Amino acid sequence: MTELVDVTDEDFAAEVLGVADRAVLVQFTAEWCGPCRQLGPVLRELAREEGERLKVVQLDVDRNPGTTVAYGVLGTPTLMVFRGGEPVRSMVGARPKRRLVQELADVLNP
């Protein structure tokens, strides 16, 4: 069973960019962000169900400004999908699980 993992500026390269066997979904989040908290259970469920094909992590934008600025994140929640160390998709805003799974279909089934 795979869980939602917290990443930081220090381990972003290893935990996200260095993952070669599957796509990585990064939630750029913040403690004060209501929609981010709303998305938490959806992402935890997705991590458990799709752990073989998708690693799901979250990065706090307030505590990790380097990565946030490097990827041009201006709002939270921003969801960014990385494959082979490169960002391949970016989505802004909370969404229900069904819609998120639809939006990730081509990433989960390349």
Annotated catalytic residues are: 33, 36
Q: Looking at the chain, how many residues does it have? A: 110
Q: Measured between alpha carbons, how far is residue 3 from residues 52, 65, 91, 97 in Å?
A: 11, 24, 21, 16
Confirm if 15 and 7 have CB atoms less than 8 A apart. yes
Contacts of 5 (CB under 8 A, 6+ apart): 15, 47, 55, 56, 57, 58
**Element spanning 70, H or E:** helix 65-70
